[in-house]
Structure 1
């Protein structure tokens, strides 16, 4: 959801760099929210399963969301009705082909022509001080964090049911400032604006669109920096709940936001950061 906020306390003291425990020797830092491996040919792919992989909820509805590709290996059978498809979200020219793939999967495995939920959570983060952020770094963040959900949602619209849901993902860094994350936060701020426009323009089909705002989470984001006790302690100081989130803290909110019980919310920023930076 969000990279560690270990710079928060030092920023308040006037320091412009995060603690050494999560700095890299180079100013260039690329990490995928969805855990994509950081090596050539994989780092930018934000590999997914439809919706990138249709899967039914408890009521039999179909949803689609991104999953980390290394977690898919050898695990296709962990849910009897879960199907995965790969997608390089940096290639909008492949989205029409992907739509065809999703349509075929829906027909073959679910006997359906459409699905109910789309969760756009593939993304990357780049740590770079504002003064040294390169155009290439900025462009990559825009390509994956903003352009991909913009055009992938557009491409999948014919497959989303009337009254369906789209859930985008943002970060508490659009509210609390961590030096070195300006480009990343800017793309996520743009996603929040995009959500409001989608909510209005898709209202004719009763499609609700919301943004889920996460905060510091105990994941492998940032190459495992949240495993550092120092980083966890510093991040926890910015969170009202007094600790960083677990994965379950965040994922437990998703079914609720997508459910009929949440049907009156659209264009909303739903904060599940534990009160980070408020």
Structure 2
């Protein structure tokens, strides 16, 4: 008896690949996260703003490893653009993965800026709010209809919002990152009905291009940071990217509403 083609197609069909959206992936932690996620077989929609060439380079790195990625422009400080970005994500999902939804969202895009409390201006404060707090809040809200049930969200925060990373000059920056930690807990509670896990990762001092590539311009600050770190070195983007990828994977399936510091034991 012959077997129908329909039965064969059903029996051999493979599940649709998982897809992640990673903001701010043109370099540093975002790039490492996108690469680590892709190495686990997940497609990546990554964003960049001021460094779109870097975003394309991240795509090339993922493709060289055999993965699939799409780069889209996004300014997380401009929430008026979010509906158009959602449409671009939906189009990329259909065209590249033949999907109507994605599985993981990593709110990573941001910038660092320091000023002593008495020198912090309203302009600086408002810009930090737009990019570090308002942006992730309303971007997640805008993309939520496309986020699949059983998915996961990771917010990149900072140990500047924890006692371990408390340093003079980061009152505004730390406040925004602390607000993102609180948002993480509320999203974990509200989205649990859909099986969506929400966590945050708080990096310590990490070698990225943050603050205008400060570590490259001022290498003399690295030894004191390493001396205050239990594991004896400065963090690397891969350290954070691996942690985020693990939280999104099966290893993190029973973890939600947590803020996990990834700092090598800074100020331990």
Per the normalisation by structure 1, the TM-score is 0.76
Structure 2 SS opposite 1:85: strand
CA contact (8 A) 2:26 2:56 kept: no
CA contact (8 A) 1:172 1:277 kept: no
> Residues 236-251 of structure 1 correspond to what in structure 2 (within 5 A)?
236-251=226-241
| Alignment match, 2:225 | 235
Partners in 2 of 1:131 and 1:217 — Cα distance? Answer: 27
Q: Is the aligned partner of 1:197 residue 2:186?
A: yes
| Alignment match, 1:44 | none
Per-residue deviation at 1:90? Answer: 1.6
| Alignment match, 1:7 | none
| Alignment match, 1:178 | 167
Higher relative contact order (CA 8 A, sep 6+): 1
CA displacement, residues 60-96 of structure 1 (integer Å, 9 cap, x when unaligned): 5445454553412466444152101101212211111
> Residues 1-278 of structure 1 correspond to what in structure 2 (within 5 A)?
34=24, 57=38, 60-67=41-48, 69-73=52-56, 76-78=59-61, 79=63, 81-175=68-162, 176-227=165-216, 228-278=218-268
Aligned length: 232
Partners in 2 of 1:124 and 1:181 — Cα distance? Answer: 12
Where do 5+ consecutive residues of structure 2 fail to align? 1-22
Partners in 2 of 1:57 and 1:75 — Cα distance? Answer: 11
Partners in 2 of 1:74 and 1:272 — Cα distance? Answer: 26
Partners in 1 of 2:144 and 2:177 — Cα distance? Answer: 22
RMSD (Å), alpha carbons: 2.6
CA displacement, residues 155-191 of structure 1 (integer Å, 9 cap, x when unaligned): 1011111100100011111122211111001100000
CA contact (8 A) 2:25 2:55 kept: no
CA contact (8 A) 2:205 2:235 kept: yes
CA contact (8 A) 2:102 2:147 kept: yes
| Alignment match, 1:8 | none
CA contact (8 A) 1:65 1:120 kept: no
User: Higher helix share goes to which structure?
Assistant: 2
Structure 1 SS opposite 2:76: coil
Per-residue deviation at 1:220? Answer: 2.0
CA displacement, residues 115-160 of structure 1 (integer Å, 9 cap, x when unaligned): 1110000011111110010001000001000000000001101111
Partners in 1 of 2:255 and 2:189 — Cα distance? Answer: 12
Partners in 2 of 1:229 and 1:75 — Cα distance? Answer: 25
CA contact (8 A) 1:63 1:117 kept: no
Partners in 1 of 2:58 and 2:190 — Cα distance? Answer: 38
CA contact (8 A) 2:56 2:71 kept: no
Where do 5+ consecutive residues of structure 1 fail to align? 1-32, 38-47
